Structure 1
């Protein structure tokens, strides 16, 4: 069955609130290419749901810069094999089990590193929102992610919009415009080409919000 289309923020908020109101721990996934607005939407939802929701980004599982250099993958940062995907899967399993506070890592773009134990997920929080590029990727070990998520939304943005947003993001974090454009076309958009086909596995496609 093809995913349904949606683009109304109040409707998305209502949908997230319904997930948080089932009486059991639920996990909502927000997937999409780099620069598609996943984090922005997740924060808007938490802003409305308050203590009933917490955001756990996939980006916290970026491999450290030192490890990427050791593996020879520094220039491919953001590709599927530059994350600790198995660690992300293990965290989602702990989150689903509940019963105790689980601590998740947070990625800090200004230093390009993740800090462990930065996001507490308390056992009484009914909705955990996880957002990232590869939630729907059907390749091991990423293929273990989708079964751990109750509902997944995909932010379906055009390549032109992604490029524009990504260049501005990289410039904001210190790259020159030429460096930003080179990185976006060599790395980010190559990753986006792997992510876009996964939208068929989502429950909901979101063109804008």
Structure 2
């Protein structure tokens, strides 16, 4: 079978391409986050399609039990895909923070993104263990960010949810606008704890 050669020619995001003029009305920071999201997601799709030409050969060395690092091209490509996905999720969360004005919806959408973002972060922190690797260094910077952002987010949701559940003076029932975000808090806490208290057992990239 002849080898396939992937070239990045597909337009993955026609909606983005057709609405670039609308971005001119937004603040520079918002535009940067939106553009970064689409750029990273295109890199993810390009990497996934290019990786279809690769396969983990049985002759290639397998990861040692005491190390998360491998030097095989297939594993490196898989890790890079997840790294690009992580950066895309982070950019999406930052864009949501600027684009969505209704606070209950903003909180819910940020939590939905964080559920995947934290899982990717946990995996990557176990994979990139070489302190000289720029990816290790960039990932390490996120610890302080998550320690501030994530608990602050769930504390706000819990406080707002408790407040709107309190009986009103006239006995009427207020709409539970924070309920969707509140229901996600237990899973957010679980994934945050897993990401910030990583086990000593390295995460492995599956070969199947």
TM range (shorter): under 0.3
The TM-score, its normalising length taken from structure 1, stands at: 0.27
TM-score scaled by length of structure 2:
0.27
Q: Which has the higher helix share?
A: 2
Structure with greater contact order relative to length (CA < 8 Å, sep ≥ 6): 1
